[in-house]
Structure formats: structure tokens, C-alpha cells
Copies of this chain bind each other. A is one copy, B any other.
Amino acid sequence: MTKPVLVVGSVALDDIETLSSSRNDVVGGSAVYFSFAGSFFSNIRIVGVAGYDFPAETIEQMKTHNIDTEGLQLEKGKTFKWGGKYHEDMNGRDTLYTHLNVFENFSPQIPKNFKKTPYLFLGNIQPGLQLDVLKQIETPDFIALDTMNLWINEQKEELLEVIKQIDLLTINQTELADLTGIDNLMKGISYLHQELDLEYIIIKMGEYGAYLSYSSDPQTPEHALFFSPTFPVPFTVDPTGAGDCFAGGFMGYLAKTEELSFKNMKKALVYGNIMGSFGVQDFSVDKLLAINNKEIENRYTTLRQMVKI
């Protein structure tokens, strides 16, 4: 009964510095984190571009994890490279450099076999490319989208064009303020429901958790709200990709259970938080490669217990 999920996003080799350690050329990118996290729940179809330096080992690991790599374009040149340094508290970070490399001319090509994928996640790439994907795919049952300040500020028109066609937007607090011009969380959420006609909104609160807001009728200011904290881990090694692990867990669970209700999305949000909590416990997708379903279920039970009044 599990349905597949298609993700389009970045594929990267990251150089990462934290206070306690640093690593170069670790496999990353939104589509990669998403795929490994989502693969615990459903079959993931990855669409992205990597250079010839991308490790074949990772592609093998994807196949082992039931991730369909037919849409992963391998091109002559170097993989997209991001260099980042985290602040002491692991929340803030500075981008040291960004080398687009083969990502510069990326044009998503959806393989024929992928065109009917019922669950679609448009990872954080240029809104124009997200639109290209929508043109190539037959209307999915559910479309979620992630974005960032860069596109909100520089390509707002295209972004609003994509948002018109989606069911769920994931966004963080500062992006919400940039997109709506409203500083207050609740007012910003109402604005998105009413002005952009969005049915579902996820506000990612980083290490604190996430809100899910649902509006059955965007014409009214009424919307139902759910909050889940993150699963607290004893040590954060590297926060890179936590939001993408979150999205992978969320979409994977939805596709696995095939129930697009607010009630089921609450559960999906909790699974999202749990996959994010695993993601930060090691560099790259290393922790995701080391866990099993039982560990995921254990955290789900614990987190459920943790919020039960």
C-alpha cells in the first residue's frame, strides 16, 4: 500500500566545520538527506545532479535503501559544493563558500517512469526549476515545497507561482516573516492560508520542533494548529540537513500510510522530527545508515509520551 515519493533537490559534497570537529567532502544536499530519511517509510525517487566526483558508494547505498536513482543525473565536472561553519551553539551558521559546479546548469529531467509519482517534494532549489518539474509530472495527489530567503527575496514572483500549485509549504520563522512581511507567527500563518490559499503549512522551528497548520477553508481565518517538539538528543554532531531529514520522514510516512488527513499529518510531523533528530547525530547521512525501524519506533513512542498531558 506504500506509495512512492519523488524528491527534486540538491546533491552536494559539503565541507563542514563545527566547534568540536570538521569534515570535508561529506555527502549532502537536500535531495540526498531527504531520500535516506524517507526511505525508512516508502520508496523514494531522487531527481538531481551530481558530478563525476560523487562517490559511487553512496549511489550503491541508495539502491540498498530502495531509493530509485534513475533521475540522478551524473555529469562531467564537480558536484555542488557547500562550505559552512557552525556557531558555538550549533543554531547559527556561516556559509564559507558555495561552488555550484554541475548544479549551475541543472535542468531537472523527470524520467518517464517517475511522471505518475503521487507524492512530490520540491526541495529548496530555484522556483523556476520547481515549476519545470511541475510541468513534467502528472498531477500528483500531494505536493510539498521547501524554499529559502534567497528565492523569497530575489525570485518572489516565480515562487508565488509555484506556491499556487502546492498543498503544503515548509518554511522557517525568518522566511515566514520575509514572505509575508509579518513578524508574528500566528498572523503570518493566517496570511499564508488566506492570501496564498495554502491548505497546509509547516513552520520549522529548528531545534525546538515544528508547527503544522491546517486550514480546511482558506476563506476563513480559522485554522487548526499542531505542535511537536524535536526529539532531544544527547549530542549534536552536525545539524546540516536536519530540515531535509525532517521533510523526508514527513513525506515518507504520508506516502506509506496514504492518508491525507490533518490527523495523519500530525503523526507524519512527529516522524519528521524523529528523522531530523537522527540526522544531526552524525555527519552526512551516516547516522541514517546505521539505524533501523525499531529505533525509529522507539523514539516515536518516547516523543509521544513526552508531550502527553
Binding-face segment, A2-10, A108-116, A153-161, A180-188: A180-188
Task: Check A266 for interface membership: any CB of B closer than 8 A.
Answer: yes
Task: Check A148 for interface membership: any CB of B closer than 8 A.
Answer: no
Contact at A234–B307, with CB atoms within 8 Å? no
With A205-B208, A208-B205, A208-B208 in contact, do A307 and B228 touch (Cβ < 8 Å)? yes
Contact at B306–A226, with CB atoms within 8 Å? yes
With A208-B208, A229-B209, A229-B229 in contact, do A270 and B309 touch (Cβ < 8 Å)? yes
List chain B residues, Cβ under 8 A from A306: 225-227
The one of B186, B187, B307 in contact with A227, judged by C-beta atoms closer than 8 angstroms, is B307
Q: Mark A229-241, 1 if CB is under 8 A from B, else 0.
A: 1001111100000
Contact at A307–B205, with CB atoms within 8 Å? no
Contact at A266–B309, with CB atoms within 8 Å? yes
Nearest B residue to A187, CB-CB = B234
User: What CA separation (Å) do A220 and B43 show in the bound complex?
Assistant: 41
B-facing residues in A169-217 (Cβ within 8 Å): 183-187, 205, 208-209, 211
Task: Check A304 for interface membership: any CB of B closer than 8 A.
Answer: yes
User: What CA separation (Å) do A232 and B185 show in the bound complex?
Assistant: 8
With A208-B208, A209-B229, A229-B227 in contact, do A234 and B309 touch (Cβ < 8 Å)? no
Nearest B residue to A302, CB-CB = B225
Contact at A309–B307, with CB atoms within 8 Å? yes
Tallying the copies of this chain within the complex gives 2
Contact at A184–B225, with CB atoms within 8 Å? no
Task: Check A78 for interface membership: any CB of B closer than 8 A.
Answer: no
Contact at B307–A184, with CB atoms within 8 Å? no
List chain B residues, Cβ under 8 A from A88: 183
A253 CB to nearest chain B CB (Å) = 12
List chain B residues, Cβ under 8 A from A308: 226, 266
With A208-B205, A208-B208 in contact, do A233 and B309 touch (Cβ < 8 Å)? no
With A208-B208, A306-B227, A307-B227 in contact, do A184 and B270 touch (Cβ < 8 Å)? no
With A266-B309, A267-B309, A307-B309 in contact, do A186 and B225 touch (Cβ < 8 Å)? no
Contact at B226–A307, with CB atoms within 8 Å? yes
List chain B residues, Cβ under 8 A from A89: 183
- 16 example contacts (A-B, Cβ-Cβ < 8 A) are as follows A88-B183, A89-B183, A184-B234, A185-B232, A186-B233, A187-B234, A205-B208, A225-B232, A225-B306, A226-B307, A227-B307, A266-B309, A267-B309, A270-B309, A304-B309, A307-B309
- Residues of A near any B CB (own CB < 8 A): 88-89, 183-187, 205, 208-209, 211, 225-229, 232-236, 266-267, 270, 304, 306-309
Extra A-B contacts (9), CB below 8 Å, given A227-B229, A266-B309, A270-B309: A88-B183, A89-B183, A186-B233, A187-B235, A211-B232, A225-B306, A226-B306, A267-B309, A304-B309
